[in-house]
């Protein structure tokens, strides 16, 4: 099989700089994926995303499966043409959502049964059905179904989840390869499939999970179950211990993380891919990022609450050094005003800025 990933490692730490090839183009690593859970990055158009430098977006199998549903996606030949995005798309398997959102779920070795919180119907997900759904979506990077245990959990619970995650990963890979053969997909059109490492805060369980998943020769490896409520110290311990163990010739993806300083830390420990709701969600709450200096400094940014009284007469942009549309056109005082009257434009302008902050941070990390 063709290698999809090439990289160089920094001389001073474990940081990598690379290129990941997908059916919808190559992406420079390390990169950040804006979240388009239901096929839209909230408030932002495709052209705006491209203008901000987003090279790939993340969407969610669980949500797309329910709405718009597979029938519509099939009619459109997948999510790319449905939403008008021609770049790479990664889809989350939905495992995390099933375990965190849905009530009335029942997990067996076969799969997970749960009730839709939208229309109450019963849905049964298996490792195979989740791969098939992602093929229908037309994802460039598919994630396998895994079991993400809650945090905190006992060692027994974590061990059980790891065992099931490995068994499901094996079934997912077998099914994926079978479907690739059946569909006779040309090597350059072949999507990538990633395994997910679980094990909670038990490093030996995570190591075992890495060893078993590595044998399955996935196109990339993700560290899952990290941003689930544990503290910064636990997160750092897991990243530091596990990221360097993942196969070096494959991209490494830290799921659901994180704050800017967490991303910098993970990149320095050899992680290549990130996604997080923080920049877009905080933007909608008027929480905005301002750069303070070089990434090497401990506090290289701060967040400001734009609704604060002190910005009432502030003529400065959110961040004078930010090249985004918001900062080149509007003052803090105007943005504060838009938030105070609940104007939809406020959410758009704030989202554009926070995404610019994250994507510019990645650009800088790639230098
Ligand atoms: Zn800006």
Per-residue pLDDT tens over the stretch 236-294: 999 999 999 999 999 999 999 989 999 999 999 999 999 999 999 999 999 999 999 99
- The catalytic position among 92, 140, 319, 360 is 92
Same domain for 324 and 262?
no
Whether 119 is catalytic: no
> Of the candidates 275, 309, 324, which is a domain's last residue?
275
Ligand 1 centroid to 254 CA: how many Å? 26
The pLDDT score that the predictor gives to residue 99 is 76
The pLDDT score that the predictor gives to residue 1 is 59
- Per the confidence metrics, is the pTM higher than 0.95? yes
Same domain for 72 and 136?
yes
Same domain for 212 and 343?
no
Ligand 1 centroid to 235 CA: how many Å? 29
Same domain for 52 and 173?
yes
Same domain for 294 and 258?
no
SS3 (DSSP) at 52: helix
Pairing of strands 220-223, 192-197: parallel
Kind plus residue range of the DSSP H or E element containing 358: helix 344-366
Ligand 1 centroid to 148 CA: how many Å? 35
Same domain for 256 and 347?
no
> Of the candidates 251, 275, 299, which is a domain's last residue?
275
Give the long-range contacts of residues 77-83, CB within 8 A, separation 24 or more.
Answer: 77/138, 78/136, 78/137, 78/138, 79/39, 79/137, 79/138, 79/139, 80/24, 80/138, 82/39, 83/36, 83/39, 83/40, 83/46
Same domain for 324 and 248?
no
Ligand 1 centroid to 347 CA: how many Å? 13
Same domain for 316 and 261?
no
Whether 275 is catalytic: yes
Same domain for 256 and 351?
no
Once rounded to an integer, what is the mean pLDDT over residues 228-240? 91
Range of the domain at 150: 5-275
Q: Which CATH number goes with the domain that contains 220?
A: 3.20.20.105
- The catalytic position among 219, 275, 319, 360 is 275
Ligand 1 centroid to 317 CA: how many Å? 8
Residue with tokens 């926070």: 354
Tally of domains within the chain: 2
**305 Cβ contact partners less than 8 Å away, ≥ 6 residues apart:** 286, 287, 288
Same domain for 253 and 341?
no
Same domain for 199 and 343?
no
Ligand 1 centroid to 45 CA: how many Å? 16
């Amino acid at each position: 099989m063709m290698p999809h990933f090439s990289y160089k490692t920094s001389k001073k730490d474990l940081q990598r700089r690379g290129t990941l090839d997908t059916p919808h183009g190559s992406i420079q690593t390390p990169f950040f994926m804006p979240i388009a859970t239901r096929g839209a990055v909230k408030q932002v158009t495709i052209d705006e995303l491209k203008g901000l430098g987003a090279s790939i977006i993340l969407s969610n199998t669980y949500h797309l499966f329910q709405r718009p549903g597979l029938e519509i996606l099939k009619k459109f030949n997948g999510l790319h043409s449905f939403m008008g995005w021609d770049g790479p798309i990664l889809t989350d398997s939905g495992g995390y959502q099933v375990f965190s959102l849905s009530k009335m779920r029942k997990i067996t070795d076969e799969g997970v049964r749960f009730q839709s919180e939208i229309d109450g119907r019963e849905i049964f997900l298996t490792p195979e059905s989740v791969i098939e759904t992602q093929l229908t979506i037309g994802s460039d990077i598919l994630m396998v179904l895994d079991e993400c245990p809650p945090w905190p959990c006992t060692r027994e619970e974590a061990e059980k989840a790891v065992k099931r995650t490995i068994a499901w990963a094996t079934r997912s890979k077998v099914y994926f390869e079978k479907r690739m053969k059946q569909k006779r997909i040309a090597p350059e059109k072949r999507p990538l499939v990633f395994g997910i490492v679980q094990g909670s805060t038990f490093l030996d369980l995570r190591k075992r999970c890495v060893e078993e998943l590595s044998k399955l020769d996935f196109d990339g490896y993700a560290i899952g179950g990290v941003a689930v409520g544990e503290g910064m110290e636990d997160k750092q311990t897991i990243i530091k211990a596990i990221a360097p163990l993942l196969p070096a010739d494959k991209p490494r993806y830290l799921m659901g993380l994180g704050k800017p300083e967490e991303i910098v830390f993970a990149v320095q420990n050899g992680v290549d891919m990130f996604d997080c709701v923080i920049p877009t969600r905080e933007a909608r709450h008027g929480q905005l990022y301002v750069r303070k200096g070089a990434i090497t400094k401990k506090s290289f940014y701060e967040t400001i609450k734009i609704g604060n009284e002190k910005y009432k007469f502030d003529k400065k942009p959110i961040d004078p050094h930010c090249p985004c549309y918001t900062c080149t056109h509007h003052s803090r005082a105007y943005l504060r005003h838009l938030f105070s009257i609940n104007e939809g434009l406020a959410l758009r302008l704030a989202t554009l800025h926070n995404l610019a902050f994250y994507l510019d941070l990645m650009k800088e990390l790639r230098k």
